[in-house]
């Protein structure tokens, strides 16, 4: 945002915008009736320009009054939308210029806009990253070997969600049409028929330069104002209510879809582990690959959440930050923490009830739910502890060479047991390493080499002393047993 200025403060921008407004309104064949009616609902474009802040690079209005058209390199100097925070793009509508290049070929550009009522500009640029829903000629050029090298920002409209209505999308389409015909990013071919058509185009008078002076190709197929944004006849409240219902339907559909999807994946993984399926089967291989991909994404996601939480606790992240990713990570962590805290309180309440310290009159609906969460967590822990113990026992029998025919359930238990054994070894090695470090710190302290231990060193000293006392008691018990025998 540092490289942008408030466009309404540039008189040249206001004049150019108003000129395009009156030109487009006077040319019926290139504008939809709905867009025309929406634009005519305001007597003058300055009324719209005074409603919301619009930002641009200061050179954008100036380049339109130069003697020569802008070069392809000039477009590459515009601020890249990739450098803007996703929170900014989500709360904004954007008009942009898309730049494409191919070695040995003439560069190409396309003017576009991103103005989703539900997601601002961010969803449109996500589609470019996925190469999804591309404009006709952009896709054709990409298939021909062109690559998107830059998406430069022309205008940024700061429109909050509370006032976002399709009427604003019409104005964004007006700005898109404004730059489409000013920079003449209209698709052109080299045949004479098309060249004649370009010369007779309804909006060719808006272009400040001769068409043969451009060093780039255009990729826009039509006037953006021919589009009809949905919901123009509805009020903002009606649109918000409709969006809320659509969101509920989408969540319900995704819940059922994910339920079936993960059930099928779980069945495929179980069949593979139990030896009930052919690992060379392409359909099974697909499920196994997706399972591994999900596990890897989950692991990386958890690492990212942990790193964000640590940076937040260490003071490297501003507590008032509006960064979308940081907020998402903290919300996820706090959700897990709230669940764990509720389960902990529930277990404590269960113990209190077992001791007779909590009677029926003290239990309201809130405490009842907490007790249920504690009981559920306790049952789950008992169940998993039992599975780990059974799995370890099976692993020991197999390691001894016993010939066991495993069932599908026992195959799962063996997998759990192997993980438990590896985890115990890992924890044991970690504890041994920390005990050795604690002994070294204690020796330094007792010998006088360490005068004033810090909090971490004091914790290690206490650990070493406690460990020393445990070993001493164990040796005394062993000695007592020897004397008895």
pLDDT tens per residue, the chain (485 residues)? 667 888 888 888 888 888 888 877 765 556 677 677 767 666 667 777 777 888 899 899 999 999 999 999 999 999 998 888 777 887 888 999 999 999 999 999 999 998 877 677 877 888 887 777 888 889 999 899 999 999 999 999 887 766 667 778 888 888 898 899 999 998 876 555 554 455 567 778 888 898 888 999 999 888 888 777 776 677 777 777 877 787 788 888 888 888 888 888 888 887 777 777 777 788 888 888 888 888 888 888 888 888 888 888 877 777 777 777 788 888 888 887 888 888 888 888 888 888 887 776 667 778 888 888 889 989 999 999 999 999 999 999 988 888 888 887 888 888 899 999 999 999 999 999 999 999 999 999 888 888 888 888 899 999 999 988 988 898 888 888 888 87
Last residue of a domain, one of 371, 387, 419: 371
User: Which residues lie closer than 8 Å to 203 by C-beta, 6 or more apart?
Assistant: 23, 27, 30, 177, 181, 223
The C-alpha atoms of residue 33 and residue 20 are separated, in whole angstroms, by: 17
The C-alpha atoms of residue 254 and residue 245 are separated, in whole angstroms, by: 14
User: Which residues lie closer than 8 Å to 106 by C-beta, 6 or more apart?
Assistant: 215, 216, 217
Q: Please indicate, yes or no, if residue 399 is contained in any of the structural domains.
A: no
Q: Please indicate, yes or no, if residue 394 is contained in any of the structural domains.
A: no
Structural domain harbouring 112: 5-233
SS3 397: helix
Residues written for the chain: 485
Same domain for 252 and 209, yes or no, is no
Same domain for 321 and 215, yes or no, is no
Q: Please indicate, yes or no, if residue 393 is contained in any of the structural domains.
A: no
SS3 94: strand
Q: Please indicate, yes or no, if residue 164 is contained in any of the structural domains.
A: yes
Same domain for 415 and 340, yes or no, is no
Q: Which residues of 300-333 are buried (b: 16+ CB within 10 A; e: fewer)?
A: eeeeebeebbeebeeeebeeeeeeeebeebbebb
Same domain for 222 and 355, yes or no, is no
Chain-centroid distance, C-alpha 409: 37
Same domain for 218 and 324, yes or no, is no
Q: Please indicate, yes or no, if residue 396 is contained in any of the structural domains.
A: no
Residue 64 Ramachandran class (φ > 0 left, ψ -120 to 50 alpha, else beta): alpha
Give the pLDDT score at 196.
45
Same domain for 364 and 424, yes or no, is no
Same domain for 315 and 197, yes or no, is no
Same domain for 295 and 322, yes or no, is yes
Three state DSSP letters for 447-471: HCCCCCCCHHHHHHHHHHHHHHHHH
Half-sphere exposure of 137 (CA within 13 A, CB side): 19
Same domain for 250 and 366, yes or no, is yes
Give the pLDDT score at 184.
92
Same domain for 209 and 245, yes or no, is no
Last residue of a domain, one of 318, 342, 371: 371
The C-alpha atoms of residue 123 and residue 146 are separated, in whole angstroms, by: 23
Tell me if 261 sits within 8 A of 60, measured CB to CB: no
Residue 430 sits at φ, ψ, to 5 deg, of -65, -40
Same domain for 356 and 445, yes or no, is no
Give the pLDDT score at 133.
80
The total domain count for the chain is 3
Tell me if 328 sits within 8 A of 312, measured CB to CB: no
Q: Please indicate, yes or no, if residue 392 is contained in any of the structural domains.
A: no
The C-alpha atoms of residue 209 and residue 193 are separated, in whole angstroms, by: 21
Tell me if 127 sits within 8 A of 186, measured CB to CB: no
Q: Please indicate, yes or no, if residue 403 is contained in any of the structural domains.
A: no
Tell me if 409 sits within 8 A of 387, measured CB to CB: no
Q: Please indicate, yes or no, if residue 42 is contained in any of the structural domains.
A: yes
C-alpha radius of gyration, the chain, whole number: 34
Give the pLDDT score at 312.
81
Same domain for 52 and 172, yes or no, is yes
Which residues share a beta bridge with 158? Answer: 92
Last residue of a domain, one of 343, 371, 399: 371
364: number of Cβ within 10 Å: 8
């Amino acid at each position: 945002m540092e490289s942008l200025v408030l466009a309404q403060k540039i008189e040249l921008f206001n004049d150019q915008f108003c000129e395009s407004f009156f030109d487009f309104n006077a040319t019926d064949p290139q504008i939809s009736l709905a867009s025309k009616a929406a634009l005519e609902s305001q007597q003058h474009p300055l009324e719209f320009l005074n409603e919301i802040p619009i930002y641009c690079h200061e050179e954008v209005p100036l380049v339109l009054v130069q003697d020569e058209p802008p070069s392809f390199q000039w477009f590459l100097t515009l601020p890249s939308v990739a450098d803007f925070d996703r929170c900014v793009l989500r709360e904004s509508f954007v008009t942009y210029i898309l730049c494409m290049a191919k070695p040995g070929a003439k560069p190409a550009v396309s003017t576009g806009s991103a103005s989703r009522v539900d997601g601002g500009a961010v969803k449109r640029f996500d589609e470019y990253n996925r190469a999804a829903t591309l404009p006709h000629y952009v896709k054709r050029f990409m298939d021909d070997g062109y690559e998107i090298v830059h998406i430069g920002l022309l205008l940024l409209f700061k429109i909050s969600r509370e006032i976002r209505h399709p009427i604003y999308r019409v104005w964004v389409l007006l700005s898109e049409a404004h730059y489409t015909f000013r920079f003449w990013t209209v698709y052109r071919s080299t045949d004479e028929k098309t060249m004649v058509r370009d010369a007779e185009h309804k909006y060719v008078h808006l272009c400040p330069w001769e068409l043969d002076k451009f060093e780039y190709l255009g990729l826009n197929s039509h006037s953006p104002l021919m589009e009809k944004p949905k919901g123009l006849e509805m009020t903002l409240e009606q649109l918000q209510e409709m969006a809320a219902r659509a969101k509920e339907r989408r969540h319900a559909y995704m819940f059922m879809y994910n339920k079936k999807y993960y059930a099928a994946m779980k069945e495929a993984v179980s069949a593979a582990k139990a030896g009930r399926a052919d690992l060379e089967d392409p359909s099974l291989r697909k499920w196994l690959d997706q399972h591994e991909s999900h596990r890897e994404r989950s692991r990386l996601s958890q690492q990212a959440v942990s790193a964000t939480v640590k940076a937040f606790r260490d003071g490297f992240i501003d507590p008032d930050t509006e960064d979308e990713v940081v907020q998402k990570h903290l919300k996820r962590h706090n959700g897990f923490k709230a669940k764990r805290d509720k389960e902990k309180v529930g277990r404590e309440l269960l113990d209190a009830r077992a001791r007779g310290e909590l009677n029926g009159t003290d239990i309201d609906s809130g405490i009842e739910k907490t007790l249920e969460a504690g009981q559920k967590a306790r049952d789950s822990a008992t169940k998993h502890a039992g599975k780990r113990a059974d799995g370890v026992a099976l692993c020991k029998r197999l390691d001894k060479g016993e010939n066991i025919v495993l069932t599908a359930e026992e195959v799962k238990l063996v997998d759990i047991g192997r993980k438990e054994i590896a985890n115990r070894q890992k924890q044991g090695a970690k504890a041994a390493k920390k005990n050795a470090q604690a002994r070294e710190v204690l020796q330094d302290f007792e010998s006088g080499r360490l005068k004033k231990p810090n909090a971490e060193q004091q914790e290690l000293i206490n650990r070493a002393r406690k460990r020393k006392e445990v070993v001493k008691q164990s040796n005394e018990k062993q000695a007592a047993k020897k004397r008895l025998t």
